[in-house]
Amino acid sequence: MNYDLKQNGFVLNYNCDIAEIPYREYLDDFGSDETTSPRGVEPRLHIREVEGAIYQNEETKDFINEDEYNDLEEDEQGDYNYYGETTVSYELWSWGVNGNHPHKIESYDTEEEAETALYEHFEWYISEKNWNAPTFFLTREELIENLAEAKEKSYEVIERYFRIKNAAKEKKELKKIAAQKAAEERKQRVKEIATVYAKLIEKKAPETFKETCTRLSQAIGEKIEKDVFFAAVKLVRDKETPAN
C-alpha cells in the first residue's frame, strides 16, 4: 500500500476545507464502492471469516486445521484430538454486479493479509475509478503547495485564504456554543421561576388547561413572561391530585 493505514494525512473535502484523516478512513470513504446485497446497501468488496475445526496434538499441544488433519495418515491422526471451532481463514469476497453475483476472490491465512488485499483494491479503485476522490497528502503544507500550483497562485495567498476561512469558522462555532449556553441558562432560569409560581396553587381534578391558566393567573396577579407562565401551568397540572 502507499501508506500505513494508521498514517494521518490531509485532504481537501467537498466543503473546500482542509481535513485531517487517517489513511484507513480515506480509503474507506473514497475507495469502497457500494452495491445492493441481501442485507441492504453495503461495500461491494468485503472480508468473510471462515469457521472450521481445529485439532490439538496431545504431546506437543500444537494446533492444526481440518484440512491439515485430513492430510495426515490414519495413525498420525490418532495423535490429535478435536479441540473446537475457530476462524481458520479469511476470504475476500465481492457481491458482483448489482449485488447479484457473490463470489470469492481469494483466501488468506490471516486477517491482516486479507485486510491488506482489501485496502490495496481500495487504492486501485481511487486511482482508476473514483476520479472525484480528493488527493491524500501527508502534510498540510504539501496540500497547499499542490493547490497553489493548480490555481496558479502563490503559497501565501492560498494559505491566507484557509487561515481566514478557519478563523471565520471558529468564530461561528464560538457563537453557536455561546448561543447554546445562553439557551440552557435561559431554560434553567425559566424552570426555577416557574417552580416558585407553581407553588401558588394546587392541582384540581378534573380541570381543563384553560381553567388552570385562569386560576394561576389570578394567583400571580401580574403579567409575567409567557414561557415562565406556561411552564408553571404544566408543573401545576403534573402535580399529584390531592387526596379528598
Q: Confirm if 55 and 82 have CB atoms less than 8 A apart.
A: yes
pLDDT at 97: 84
Residue with grid cell 491482516, as numbered in its chain: 112
Q: How far apart are CA 23 and CA 5, in angstroms?
A: 5
Q: Confirm if 1 and 18 have CB atoms less than 8 A apart.
A: no
pLDDT at 243: 64
pLDDT at 244: 58
Antiparallel, parallel or unpaired: β 34-37 and 18-22:
unpaired
Helix (H, G, I), strand (E, B) or coil at 6: coil
Enumerate the β-bridge partners of residue 47: 92
**pTM, rounded to two decimals:** 0.64
pLDDT at 37: 87
Burial of 140 (0-12, 13-18, 19+ CB in 10 A): middle
pLDDT at 242: 67
Residue with grid cell 453475483, as numbered in its chain: 101
Mean pLDDT calculated for residue range 233-239: 93
DSSP 8-class letter at 111: H
Mean pLDDT calculated for residue range 213-241: 93
Helix 155-198 vs helix 209-220: angle between axes, to the nearest 10 degrees? 80
Helix 226-238 vs helix 155-198: angle between axes, to the nearest 10 degrees? 50
pLDDT at 114: 96
pLDDT digits (tens, 9 = 90+) for 64-110: 988 899 999 999 999 999 999 888 889 999 998 888 889 999 999 89
pLDDT digits (tens, 9 = 90+) for 26-68: 999 999 988 988 888 999 999 999 888 999 999 999 999 888 9
* Residue 218 Cα distances to 47, 108, 145, 235, 236, angstroms: 71, 80, 71, 16, 14
pLDDT digits (tens, 9 = 90+) for 179-224: 999 999 999 999 999 999 999 999 988 899 999 999 999 999 999 9
Compute how many other C-beta atoms are within 10 angstroms of the C-beta atom of residue 77.
Answer: 13
pLDDT digits (tens, 9 = 90+) for 124-155: 999 999 999 999 999 999 999 999 999 999 99
Q: How far apart are CA 43 and CA 28, in angstroms?
A: 9
DSSP-based helix, strand, coil % in the chain, nearest 5:
50, 25, 30
DSSP 8-class letter at 208: -
